Amino acid sequence: MSRFIEKLTPVEEALQLLKLHVEPVKEWGDVPVWEANGHVLARDIHAPHDWPPQAKAAYDGYAVRSVDTPGRLAVVGKAEIGSREVPRIGPGEAAYVTTGSFLPDGADTVVPEEYVDEEDGYIIVKDKFEPGMYIDAAGSLVRKGQLLARKGTVLTIEDMAGLAEVAITEVPVYRSLRVAIISMGNELIRPGTPKDTALKVLEGSVIATTGSVIEQFLVDYTPWVEVIDTALLPDSKDTVAWYVERVLPLVDIVLLTGGTGPSRIDMFYQLQESLGGELLFRGLYVIGGKPTSAYIVDGKPIIGLSGYPISALHATIRLVYPLLIYMGNVKRPSPPLPIVRATITDSVKPKRPRPIKVRVEIRNGKYYASPLGKEYQKSSANIGFVLGDGLALTSDRDLEPGDEVDVFLYRAPRGYRHLGLPLK
């Protein structure tokens, strides 16, 4: 294999190549629904029973017979929430209920307590109440056998609340994908005390941040993925090969950052010679994408990413994210990625698909993205992250002011109004 790159592979083609060579995770098992947040449903969920299993009060008040309204009724008991034992009421009788308690036998409606006058063991209902008012009838929310959630859904805390409510307490989910993120580079350091570390950086050392940026993206946006290892290794082909061999059995994917460019000391292509496996592509058709590469060892993808946070993050959003969707069997991801359509305010000639550091403003509910100056667009200018609010993710087409572009937002835009109200 040549040291230099002959052809840059478009993202879509790179993704198809990867999908041809890796298998989505197959193993699954039942887990308690209260531990399922972020996991991927492995089977459709059908309701195992009607819900509610018998009629329930949908308001705090008095369960009565609708034929007795309006009228003066004797309070003969009380339905406790959390218990299926309920009082029985007869003609002229009422029982106190709270929202969610099972409906007393004989009752067919509930009168909210705001609508009654209470007097010494009796209530006075002034209005007519129809049967079924303020109650949830048996099976009214869910019918046995009803499809509730589809395979491939990433479960959320909201789903947990919904399923737990109807007594679905176990759910079939795929096991998490396991990822190792290996950061390579002789210049990289782990931070020590702030002052010592600042001195080292001023002398030319580089704090290993690229791996952290990728890890945080995965933590935030791919909860079905577990980052089980975040190693820091020198630019030594042998050390990295040694390490990858040891971590590979434990993971589904290895992400390598740094050491993957075309230069003399880069090693991705040497590494493949050590580890064997099949090269899928080397160099992605995006700006900053030359270091992005992939090969397959033992059916598992080893993906080389740039050592620059911006380029590694870009490749993660474009390529690794959809790969993790595929390998995780995800059809409905959660949480949604914070990608918005924005109007670009300056012309941009990206040449290839490109991450452009932008300030983002929201005016009249529309997003506007203003590219930072040229000096901040370099891959090495991470400070552009601090000055900006998001990354415009262009295609290779030139953009004129007024054109729309997708923007990955890492903070709320300037001028953000929360549900119509300013934040201040």
Where in 208-227 is the site for a second copy (CB under 8 A)? 209-210, 212-213, 216-217, 220
Answer whether 284's CB lies under 8 Å from 294's CB: no
Q: Is 195 in the site for a second copy (CB under 8 A)?
A: yes
Answer whether 111's CB lies under 8 Å from 93's CB: no
CB of 265 to a second copy, least distance (A): 7
Q: Is 414 in the site for a second copy (CB under 8 A)?
A: yes
CB of 125 to a second copy, least distance (A): 16
Q: Is 164 in the site for a second copy (CB under 8 A)?
A: yes
Q: Is 203 in the site for a second copy (CB under 8 A)?
A: yes
Does 53 sit behind a cis peptide bond, omega within 30 degrees of 0 on the bond before it? no
Q: Is 130 in the site for a second copy (CB under 8 A)?
A: no
User: Do the strands 177-184 and 253-257 form a parallel or antiparallel pair, or are they unpaired?
Assistant: parallel
Rounded Cα gap, residues 62 and 134, in angstroms = 10
Please tell me whether residue 307 adopts helix, strand or coil conformation: coil
Listing DSSP states for 320-375 in one string gives IHHHHHHHTT-SB-SSPP-EEEEEESS-B--SSS-EEEEEEEEETTEEEEEEPPGG
Q: Which of 166, 179, 225, 244 binds a second copy (CB under 8 A)?
A: 166
φ, ψ at 419 (rounded to 5°) = 50, 45
Residue 137 DSSP label: -
Rounded Cα gap, residues 419 and 356, in angstroms = 28
Within positions 5 to 24, which residues make up the interface with a second copy, using CB under 8 A?
A: 11-12, 15
Rounded Cα gap, residues 213 and 307, in angstroms = 11
Q: Is 347 in the site for a second copy (CB under 8 A)?
A: no
Q: Is 76 in the site for a second copy (CB under 8 A)?
A: no
Q: Is 113 in the site for a second copy (CB under 8 A)?
A: yes
CB of 171 to a second copy, least distance (A): 9
CB of 249 to a second copy, least distance (A): 29
CB of 191 to a second copy, least distance (A): 5
Q: What angle do CA 377, 383, 385 make, to 5 degrees?
A: 75
Strand segments, DSSP code E, in 212-354 are: 225-233, 253-257, 278-282, 293-297, 300-305, 339-344
Q: Which of 169, 347, 351, 402 binds a second copy (CB under 8 A)?
A: 169
Q: Which is nearer to a second copy, 191 or 401 (CB)?
A: 191
Q: Is 160 in the site for a second copy (CB under 8 A)?
A: yes
With CB under 8 A as the contact rule, which of the stretches 147-155, 174-182, 238-246, 296-304 interacts with a second copy?
A: 147-155
Q: Is 103 in the site for a second copy (CB under 8 A)?
A: no
Q: Is 368 in the site for a second copy (CB under 8 A)?
A: no
With CB under 8 A as the contact rule, which of the stretches 119-127, 224-232, 246-254, 373-381 interacts with a second copy?
A: 373-381
Q: Is 230 in the site for a second copy (CB under 8 A)?
A: no
User: Do the strands 122-125 and 170-174 form a parallel or antiparallel pair, or are they unpaired?
Assistant: unpaired
For 328, counting Cβ atoms within 10 Å of its Cβ (0-12 exposed, 13-18 middle, 19+ buried), the class is: buried
With CB under 8 A as the contact rule, which of the stretches 93-101, 267-275, 294-302, 344-352 interacts with a second copy?
A: 93-101
Rounded Cα gap, residues 220 and 249, in angstroms = 25
Q: Which of 17, 313, 348, 356 binds a second copy (CB under 8 A)?
A: 313
With CB under 8 A as the contact rule, which of the stretches 173-181, 224-232, 241-249, 370-378 interacts with a second copy?
A: 370-378
Q: Is 143 in the site for a second copy (CB under 8 A)?
A: no
Q: Is 122 in the site for a second copy (CB under 8 A)?
A: no
Q: Is 32 in the site for a second copy (CB under 8 A)?
A: yes
Q: Which is nearer to a second copy, 40 or 253 (CB)?
A: 40
With CB under 8 A as the contact rule, which of the stretches 68-76, 162-170, 273-281, 295-303 interacts with a second copy?
A: 162-170
Q: Is 348 in the site for a second copy (CB under 8 A)?
A: no
Q: Is 419 in the site for a second copy (CB under 8 A)?
A: yes
Q: Is 232 in the site for a second copy (CB under 8 A)?
A: no
Q: Is 336 in the site for a second copy (CB under 8 A)?
A: yes
Rounded Cα gap, residues 187 and 199, in angstroms = 14
Please tell me whether residue 114 adopts helix, strand or coil conformation: helix
With CB under 8 A as the contact rule, which of the stretches 239-247, 279-287, 343-351, 402-410 interacts with a second copy?
A: 402-410
CB of 245 to a second copy, least distance (A): 27
**Helix-, strand-, coil-residue percentages of the chain, each rounded to 5:** 25, 35, 45
Answer whether 284's CB lies under 8 Å from 264's CB: no
- Max alpha carbon distance in the chain (Å)? 94
Q: Is 268 in the site for a second copy (CB under 8 A)?
A: no
